[in-house]
Amino acid sequence: MKPDVVIVRLGELTLKGRNRHRFERRVLEQLEPLRLVYPSVRFALEFGRIHIELNEAPYEAAVECLSHIFGLASYSPAIRTELDLELIRQVALERMQELEPAEGTATFKVAAKRSNKAFAHDSKELPHLVGSHILRNTERWTVDVHHPDTTLWVDIRDKEAFVYTDTVRGSGGFPLGTNGKGLLMLSGGIDSPVAGWLAMRMGLDMEAIHFHSYPYTSERAQRKVEDLAKVLSRYSGTMKLHLVPFTDIQVKLKEEGRENLLVICMKRAMLRIAERVAAKRRAGAIITGESLGQVASQTLSSLDVIGRSVEMPVLRPLIAMDKAEIVKVAEQIKTFEISIQPYEDCCTLFHPASVTTNPSIRTVEAVERHIEGLDELIELAVQGIETKVIGWKENDEAAKYF
Ligand code: ATP
Ligand code: MG
């Protein structure tokens, strides 16, 4: 049976207190692309739930949209009926006939919810009334109320009833933007897109910043970053990508800095530029894909010295994940395939032979003070930023997604 409605349940945390309306509104906004492609779709808001009335839209299109919305606990494809016991029994039977095994037996139970107290049968009677009808008219279903293979839900609402058997787990987290905004330092690697996704999942709206070393890095390397931003933009509609010309700073640091502190100084310069952009874009934090111990520049003291170049909080969602866990998420969100393309980002090209794992902030600051014109170069880099808007709104690509 084709579902008529998708019952979407918001996460429990989103139901608490004054936030509920804000959270519901954000989720509704994010469902808009679905209506853009299928204008007959309707959304109905109930306490802590959103009902998507599919009309002409295929269920798969709704699923595709829901898989890119954060803050959802679960959703269920449901069949709608009038508030009439015989109709409910009929729909329930049809659904269970569809799921009936071709051979052997399977177990089920009926569970009921009744928010409409005017309905003649309560949630204790309904399972019996509906279950007996299924038993009488099928051959392979038996009842097991404790560990059933399938649970058929009957949900009696004010104006209608819903019948469903499947509950799909939602993405979790918080609706996008309900916890503020972050600026993601997006490289072409495996880690930073995952960090961005995790931060978005925790309710942070996101813009991204990428440092390129053109002509040392190719245009293809930049396209790879744009492709990654595009995957992330699926969760937000659009994503601003700030492209920073970083070559002059890198050359300067290489010429006048200290070889074993080069990576540290580069990261500090990146952060200082990111902080300026974040402040301008009203972001409250910088997000990076750093993870403890992965490389020399990610020891505890390196992260400390890098982080001290700015005042804004630097969030590192991957800090406690190992590489295998990060790769798993990258595969799941489909950034992995893009990240492993071989195009160099700026850091790999300027990688020095030796890197200190235990830098001292005093030494690093002293080295930076001796590099003439570093502040001016940072200013120039900020002025040279080119911003691209990545995502379906600009490219009118929503239709391709569903
Ligand atoms: P990734 O896989 O994200 O590139 P990594 O393990 O290769 O991370 P580094 O190259 O040391 O580690 O980078 C650490 C973090 O610094 C990255 O996760 C990213 O947030 C940021 N970063 C590095 N290079 C760039 C760049 N060219 N543009 C923007 N951010 C960058
Ligand atoms: Mg990298």
Structure tokens of 379?
């200013």
Q: What percent of the chain has pLDDT above 70?
A: 95
Tell me the mean pLDDT in the region 243-271: 94
Tell me the mean pLDDT in the region 199-207: 97
Verify whether ligand 1 is closer than 6 Å to residue 381 (CB atom).
Answer: no
DSSP for 55-93, written as a single string: TTS-HHHHHHHHTT-SSEEEEEEEEEE-S-HHHHHHHHH
Q: Tell me: pLDDT of 394 over 50.
A: no
Q: Is 192 among the domain residues?
A: yes
The CATH number that applies at residue 103 is 3.30.2130.30
Verify whether ligand 1 is closer than 6 Å to residue 271 (CB atom).
Answer: no
Verify whether ligand 1 is closer than 6 Å to residue 210 (CB atom).
Answer: yes
Ligand 1 pocket test, pick from 184, 191, 321, 385 with the greatest ligand atom count within 8 Å of Cβ, gives: 191
Domain extent for 61: 5-171
Look at 133-142, 194-203, 389-398 and tell me which has the smallest mean pLDDT: 389-398
Same domain, 151 and 195: no
Among the candidates 171, 189, 205, a domain finishes at 171
Q: Is 176 among the domain residues?
A: no
Read off the pLDDT of residues 368-385 as tens digits, 9 standing for 90 and up.
999 999 999 999 999 999
Same domain, 56 and 201: no
Q: Quick one: pLDDT at residue 15?
A: 62
Q: Is 82 among the domain residues?
A: yes
Read off the pLDDT of residues 286-321 as tens digits, 9 standing for 90 and up.
999 999 987 778 999 999 999 999 999 999 999 999
Ligand 1 atom, smallest distance to 192 CA: 3
Q: Tell me: pLDDT of 395 over 50.
A: no
Same domain, 118 and 146: yes
Verify whether ligand 1 is closer than 6 Å to residue 347 (CB atom).
Answer: yes
Q: Is 400 among the domain residues?
A: no
Same domain, 338 and 265: yes
Same domain, 122 and 239: no
DSSP for 227-296, written as a single string: HHHHHHHTTTSEEEEEEEE-HHHHHHHHHHS-GGGHHHHHHHHHHHHHHHHHHHTT-SEEE----TTSSG
Cis ω before 77 (30° cut-off from 0): no
- Are residues 91 and 81 in contact, defined by beta-carbon separation less than 8 angstroms? yes
Q: Quick one: pLDDT at residue 12?
A: 75
Ligand number, closest to the Cα atom of 241: 1
Among the candidates 171, 202, 222, a domain finishes at 171
Read off the pLDDT of residues 31-81 as tens digits, 9 standing for 90 and up.
998 998 999 999 999 888 999 999 999 999 999 999 999 999 999 999 999
Read off the pLDDT of residues 3-28 as tens digits, 9 standing for 90 and up.
999 999 998 766 667 778 889 999 99
Q: Quick one: pLDDT at residue 13?
A: 67
The more confident residue out of 355 and 195 is: 195
Q: Quick one: pLDDT at residue 48?
A: 84
Which DSSP state fits 202? Answer: B
Same domain, 336 and 389: yes
Which DSSP state fits 189? Answer: S
Q: Which residues surround ligand 2, an ion (CB under 5 A)?
A: 187, 189
Verify whether ligand 1 is closer than 6 Å to residue 345 (CB atom).
Answer: yes
- Are residues 390 and 233 in contact, defined by beta-carbon separation less than 8 angstroms? yes
Indicate the angle between helix axes 247-256 and 374-383, nearest 10 degrees: 170
Among the candidates 136, 171, 206, a domain finishes at 171
Q: Tell me: pLDDT of 344 over 80.
A: no
The more confident residue out of 394 and 111 is: 111
Residue type, 296: A
Q: Tell me: pLDDT of 351 over 80.
A: no
The CATH number that applies at residue 224 is 3.40.50.620
Q: Quick one: pLDDT at residue 348?
A: 62
Q: Is 135 among the domain residues?
A: yes
Split into its structural domains, the chain has a count of: 2
Q: Is 128 among the domain residues?
A: yes
Same domain, 80 and 148: yes
Q: Quick one: pLDDT at residue 352?
A: 78
Same domain, 334 and 279: yes
Same domain, 196 and 129: no
Assessment of whether the complete model's pTM goes beyond 0.75: yes
CB count within 10 Å of CB 55 equals 12
Verify whether ligand 1 is closer than 6 Å to residue 299 (CB atom).
Answer: no
Same domain, 161 and 299: no
Same domain, 269 and 141: no
Same domain, 284 and 377: yes
